[in-house]
Amino acid sequence: MIALIDLYRKELLKVNGFSPSTVETYTLSIKAFCQFAITELKTDPPNVSGPQLLKYILYLKNTGIGHSRIENHHYALKSFFAFLKRSGDIPSNPAHALPLLITRRRQVTKPISAHSALKLLDSFDQSTWHGLRNYTMVAVLWALGLRTSELTSLKVKNFETGHGKKIGLLRIRGKNKKQRALFVVDRLFDDLTRYLAHPRSPNKKRAPLFPAQPDTAISNNRLQNIVKEHARKAGIKSRVTPRVLRHAFATEMYH
């Protein structure tokens, strides 16, 4: 099974063009299913039947996990068994027995106001390196509308100066490895250059722009917690997350 899962993983990356995080999610889902098939169903995973797949989905629901995670398992099973059928490892696809899931309406993300975003920025103690790093991360999130993963994957080399007075470029690698360049100007340019001039800030081109430890980028979860902690500290009553800041994307207000 390990070899089959590895081939499946490679197909998701190369043929389907899924992002590494999506591939990791699907792979973990299939590994969890294989464990269930062996220990609970007493069946070799490729040989399961449609009713057994339904039993697994019911088992997942009974564990109390959220609807979105069940969706991930559901889609992973469908794509995995479709892969096995295409590769000739199974004669028929048992995942055809899985019903269509009812997609729940996602909650609309409400952006915070410019006033609240500025209150959030003011809550950071910039006299310390950690405070300066956290302030700069949130400023970049809000001013440029980055995704959490885009910010945490930034390297020092991704920020380019020398494009004019107080004009820089931040090169982003987004979903499906698509690249784009965003202008960094005026106040945000000053903030980034001031942060990088700090003695504790990274200076190697391939180093993470926002490290948690030397050569280790800050994690998505830690970034989420920093934003939430400082939103409470700033007295902001509405829900504030990196995603909310992305939707509040208002460069002209920040300037």
Segment 134-185, tens digit of pLDDT: 999 999 998 888 889 999 999 999 999 988 888 899 999 876 667 888 999 8
Same-domain status, 149 and 220: yes
Q: Indicate the residue among 65, 97, 129 that finishes a domain.
A: 97
In this predicted structure, what is the pLDDT of residue 61? 86
DSSP state of 255: -
Indicate whether 108 belongs to any domain.
no
Indicate whether 40 belongs to any domain.
yes
- pTM greater than the 0.75 cutoff: no
Rounded Cα gap, residues 8 and 77, in angstroms? 11
In this predicted structure, what is the pLDDT of residue 11? 83
Count the Cβ atoms, other than its own, within 10 Å of residue 142.
28
Q: Which residue has tokens 């080399």?
A: 157
Indicate whether 65 belongs to any domain.
yes
Same-domain status, 121 and 191: yes
Indicate whether 250 belongs to any domain.
yes
Same-domain status, 122 and 93: no
Same-domain status, 51 and 132: no
Rounded Cα gap, residues 115 and 119, in angstroms? 6
Indicate whether 222 belongs to any domain.
yes
Same-domain status, 178 and 235: yes
In this predicted structure, what is the pLDDT of residue 100? 72
Which CATH number do you get for residue 154?
1.10.443.10
Same-domain status, 127 and 22: no
In this predicted structure, what is the pLDDT of residue 97? 86
Same-domain status, 86 and 182: no
In this predicted structure, what is the pLDDT of residue 197? 96
Same-domain status, 232 and 124: yes
Same-domain status, 90 and 119: no
Mapped onto helix, strand or coil, the DSSP state of residue 235 is coil
The structure tokens listed for 190 are: 């000053």
Pairs from 187-193 (Cβ < 8 Å, separation ≥ 24): 187/254, 187/255, 188/139, 188/140, 188/143, 188/144, 188/251, 188/254, 188/255, 189/161, 190/166, 191/135, 191/136, 191/139, 192/136, 192/140, 192/159, 192/168, 193/161, 193/168
Q: Which domain holds residue 44?
A: 2-97
Same-domain status, 88 and 130: no
Number of domains the chain contains: 2
In this predicted structure, what is the pLDDT of residue 229? 95
Same-domain status, 182 and 144: yes
Indicate whether 219 belongs to any domain.
yes
Residues 223 and 151 sit within 8 Å (Cβ to Cβ): yes
**Dihedral angle computed from the Cα positions of residues 196, 200, 204 and 209, in that order, rounded to the nearest 10 degrees:** -60
Give me the amino acid identity at 145: G
Indicate whether 107 belongs to any domain.
no
User: Could you tell me which residue, 33 or 253, shows the higher pLDDT?
Assistant: 33
Same-domain status, 146 and 90: no
Indicate whether 103 belongs to any domain.
no
Q: Are strands 167-173 and 179-185 parallel, antiparallel or unpaired?
A: antiparallel
Residues 241 and 224 sit within 8 Å (Cβ to Cβ): yes
Query: pLDDT-based confidence at 188, cuts 50/70/90?
Result: very high
Distance between start and end Cα atoms, the chain: 55
- Give me the DSSP letters along 28-91: HHHHHHHHHHHHTS-S-GGG--HHHHHHHHHHHHHTT--HHHHHHHHHHHHHHHHHHHHTTSSS
Which CATH number do you get for residue 75?
1.10.150.130
Q: Which residues contact 86 (CB under 8 A, 6 or more apart)?
A: none
> What's the mean pLDDT in 239-252?
74
- Give me the DSSP letters along 86-138: HTTSSSS-GGGGSPPPPPPPPPPPPPPPHHHHHHHHHTS-TTSHHHHHHHHHH
Q: Which residues contact 227 (CB under 8 A, 6 or more apart)?
A: 120, 138, 141, 240, 241, 242, 245
